[in-house]
Chain A
Amino acid sequence: MSEWISTPQSSNVAGFCYDDSTQVLTVEFNSGTRYDYYDVPNHIYEGMKAAESIGKYLNSEIKGHYRYARQ
């Protein structure tokens, strides 16, 4: 499990982390709700770390591509 990355600069996402072994990307929204995205490859996570706008990246690259469930 990678360390928790807080994203205070994002207007929607509070933070996220990634588990390499299970390929689960956990995203916490500003509402405090956490979601798990499954089968997310490592490069997407790296992309998210590097993304200028986390919200935009999440919306364009992750949402709709990977299955999610609320924690």
Chain B
Amino acid sequence: MKVDPSFIGTVQDVMGTTVTVALSNETITGISFIDGECYRIGQVGSFVRIPVGFTDLYGLVSQVGAGAAPVSELETSPYGNRWLQVQLIGERMRDGQFQRGVSQHPTIEDKVHIVTEKDLHAIYGPSDPIDFVSIGHLASAESIPAYIDNNKLVTRHSAIVGSTGCGKSTTVAGLLNSISDKSQFPSARILVLDIHGEYSKALGERASIIRVGADASKNERELQIPFWALNFEEMAKFAFGSIDNSKYAIVTDWVMKLKRESLEHQPIPGIDPDAITVDTPTPFCLHKLWYELYKRDFMTIVPRPGGAADEVDPAYAQDSHGKNLLGDAMAVIPPVYRTVKTTGPAHERVQWGKEAIGIRQQLSTLGSKLRDPRYNFICNPGKWRPDIDGKIESDLDLLIKDWIGNERPVTIMDLSGIPSLILNDIIGAVLRIIYDAVFWGRNLPEGSRERPLFIILEEAHAYLGKDNSGSASLAVKRIAKEGRKYGVGMMVVSQRPFEIDSTILSQCGTIIAMRLANTIDRCHVTGAASDNLKGLFEMLPILRTGEAIIVGEAVSLPIRALIDPPDQDRKPDSIDPKVASHGSKEEGFESPGGWNQNKEDENYKPMIHQWRIQSGKYDHNFHKSIEIQGEADE
């Protein structure tokens, strides 16, 4: 007759951290009632308690049944193979705190007990309420909140992985809601790099939104990334594409010259024009750089009339009024030169300029970028656009303040309007600018050591690929490696962890793994987890939507938790489109679209228009006026 209803079996074998338990014959019903609550015995992923003297050891059930039986167990037992395999994870002194690691091992015939809700409260309870925030509740017991250590979640980096449709975005939004709660964390500082523009709705009042093509009525701000805040390498890559090393030097010289010129026109206190380097984030005029380099590369010359033999003039072509076609740097109009002519009298001969660099193709790339409105956010960044003399209206402090210092705890940088060709470089540049700023400002109250910064990298596989040596990957690696010291943390969110560089993933101290069906992805995550409880990851393919296994530094022990989703009307904008819409003609449908509804009177003109203007925002009045115009024309 068993006395304690929580008793389930005895220890039979101990090897390292693996303990094999023989279940007692009283447990054949598979359930046990303790304090009126029903517990199922021998659930994989559940906890057991093994009292040893004054301490309780805690372990996690990793295997049940025949496979868990010791090899020598040959005789068949009357009730089947009633064995459990348990991984030890931690211990708790009587009335003490739960801690990871065990100081002693159980021995043969030690009693094994089921873990009750009361025990769970003690294990999962926040050891220090300041550090811990509740983000949801345990999957196994709704009454027990799941706590994570905010300190470690932020500074030791983290990763959220899971297949599409497993509730990743919702989980991120829920998590951000929890850790940016105004009453608890009034100075939270979170930056979300949102590639698909999903999060603006989910975070609502908490977040300010920066995007290309901002809607001022919704209080959004325009995304501006001044080219002169990039370092030279980033700037040159954006502006010119690839460039020969030998020609690099000439471009460098010109950038230096223009930066100095700008500082002469508009000095920055404390910055010596002679002490700056080509990477110093001071303004210069990119238009002028283009114009000057263009002149050098395309110039043709004529001998100066009446001058010495080596004196030459630029051979400008002339318009119908006899004016030289000098072009205009700010309007990106190149000067026009006369074509080369090597015959005829000496004074009529037109020759190539003497100092051509040989970057004509690169210059035309830059010229077209300067003219392309899609690149306005970088080439013509509003208040941060230097004029021809390199003078600017406002400096970088306002830019950084917009990004990481605005009045709301979360800033969403919506990158959906950025051409995908340069997305990688832009993300790299943004991260580097922010990191450099907070790194050098590390001793100031605005720096991230005093007010840590948490960067969420959504859809990270898109730019942190294994064989992607792009600047995004470099910047993220830098943050992953040294960000902790300066209070810059990041959270990598991805549906395809296999494609993420393992250096980055292994730096993530906390892994929040959601349903993950693909074996390769699962192995990759398991390999990166810094925890010995990899057995837990076997459960990844069968997690429910919104359910996550959290392992690592931010939790006192691995949790299988359901993370609180944001309110119904605050879901991220990534909900699956309805192919079959629920409802009926009598009661209406749950959405206006779907294959089972009558087709709309379709008009594909607006679709093409949205594509051309690269915006998802539909302006009905505009299209109506065009339609009316079209009818009038006919």
Asked whether A and B interact, the reply is yes
Interface residues of A (CB under 8 A from B): 10-14, 22, 24, 28-33, 35-36, 38-39, 53-60, 63-64, 67-69
Nearest 5 Cβ contacts at the A-B interface: A55-B588, A69-B618, A32-B569, A38-B620, A59-B588
B4 at the interface (CB under 8 A from A): no
Using an 8 Å CB-CB cutoff, how does the interface string of B576-600 with A read, 1 for contact, 0 for none?
A: 0000000101111111100001101
Min distance, Cβ A4 to any Cβ of chain B, angstroms: 12
B624 at the interface (CB under 8 A from A): yes
Whether B620 contacts A69 by the Cβ 8 Å rule is: yes
Min distance, Cβ B567 to any Cβ of chain A, angstroms: 9
- Nearest residue, chain A, Cβ from B600: A64
Whether A30 contacts B590 by the Cβ 8 Å rule is: yes
Query: B569, B589, B620, B621: which contacts A59 (Cβ < 8 A)?
Result: B589
Whether A63 contacts B592 by the Cβ 8 Å rule is: yes
Q: Please, how many angstroms separate the alpha-carbon atoms of A58 and B592 in the complex?
A: 9
Whether A39 contacts B589 by the Cβ 8 Å rule is: no
Min distance, Cβ A41 to any Cβ of chain B, angstroms: 14
Assuming the contacts A32-B569, A69-B618, A69-B620, asked whether A56 and B590 have C-beta atoms less than 8 A apart, the reply is: no
Min distance, Cβ B286 to any Cβ of chain A, angstroms: 37
Whether B586 contacts A39 by the Cβ 8 Å rule is: no
Whether B587 contacts A29 by the Cβ 8 Å rule is: no
Q: Please, how many angstroms separate the alpha-carbon atoms of A13 and B587 in the complex?
A: 10
Q: Which of B575-634 contact A (CB under 8 A)?
A: 575, 583, 585-592, 597-598, 600-601, 603, 618, 620-621, 624
Q: Which residues of A contact B597 (CB under 8 A)?
A: 63
- Nearest residue, chain A, Cβ from B582: A12
- Nearest residue, chain B, Cβ from A24: B620
Most buried by B among A10, A14, A33: A33
Whether A55 contacts B571 by the Cβ 8 Å rule is: no
Total cross-chain contacts (CB, 8 A): 67
Q: List 17 A-B contacts (CB under 8 A).
A: A11-B583, A12-B583, A12-B587, A22-B621, A31-B571, A31-B575, A32-B570, A33-B575, A33-B591, A38-B620, A39-B620, A53-B587, A55-B583, A59-B585, A59-B589, A63-B598, A67-B620
Whether A32 contacts B571 by the Cβ 8 Å rule is: yes
B143 at the interface (CB under 8 A from A): no
Q: Please, how many angstroms separate the alpha-carbon atoms of A69 and B607 in the complex?
A: 11
Whether A56 contacts B620 by the Cβ 8 Å rule is: no
Most buried by B among A22, A24, A29, A60: A29
- Nearest residue, chain A, Cβ from B569: A32
A interface secondary structure, majority? mixed
Q: Which residues of A contact B603 (CB under 8 A)?
A: 67
Whether B620 contacts A31 by the Cβ 8 Å rule is: no
B183 at the interface (CB under 8 A from A): no
- Nearest residue, chain B, Cβ from A63: B592
Whether A54 contacts B588 by the Cβ 8 Å rule is: yes
Assuming the contacts A12-B583, A64-B600, asked whether A29 and B620 have C-beta atoms less than 8 A apart, the reply is: no
Q: Please, how many angstroms separate the alpha-carbon atoms of A11 and B591 in the complex?
A: 11
Whether B598 contacts A64 by the Cβ 8 Å rule is: yes
Q: Which residues of B contact A24 (CB under 8 A)?
A: 620
Q: Please, how many angstroms separate the alpha-carbon atoms of A53 and B590 in the complex?
A: 13
B245 at the interface (CB under 8 A from A): no
Assuming the contacts A32-B568, A38-B620, A67-B620, asked whether A55 and B591 have C-beta atoms less than 8 A apart, the reply is: no
- Nearest residue, chain B, Cβ from A69: B618
Whether A53 contacts B624 by the Cβ 8 Å rule is: no
Whether B585 contacts A29 by the Cβ 8 Å rule is: no
Whether A31 contacts B591 by the Cβ 8 Å rule is: yes
Whether A11 contacts B587 by the Cβ 8 Å rule is: yes
Whether A58 contacts B591 by the Cβ 8 Å rule is: no
Whether A12 contacts B588 by the Cβ 8 Å rule is: yes
Whether B588 contacts A53 by the Cβ 8 Å rule is: yes
- Nearest residue, chain A, Cβ from B590: A12
Whether B586 contacts A56 by the Cβ 8 Å rule is: yes
Most buried by A among B575, B585, B587: B587
Whether B620 contacts A12 by the Cβ 8 Å rule is: no
Min distance, Cβ B167 to any Cβ of chain A, angstroms: 15
Query: A12, A36, A69: which contacts B589 (Cβ < 8 A)?
Result: A12
Assuming the contacts A56-B585, A59-B585, A67-B620, asked whether A29 and B591 have C-beta atoms less than 8 A apart, the reply is: yes
Whether A68 contacts B571 by the Cβ 8 Å rule is: no
Q: Which residues of A contact B586 (CB under 8 A)?
A: 53, 56
Assuming the contacts A12-B583, A32-B569, A32-B570, asked whether A55 and B589 have C-beta atoms less than 8 A apart, the reply is: yes
Min distance, Cβ A35 to any Cβ of chain B, angstroms: 6
Besides the contacts A12-B583, A13-B588, A39-B624, what 17 more A-B pairs have beta carbons closer than 8 Å? Answer: A11-B588, A12-B588, A14-B569, A29-B591, A33-B575, A35-B592, A38-B620, A53-B587, A54-B588, A55-B587, A56-B586, A63-B600, A64-B598, A67-B601, A67-B620, A69-B618, A69-B620
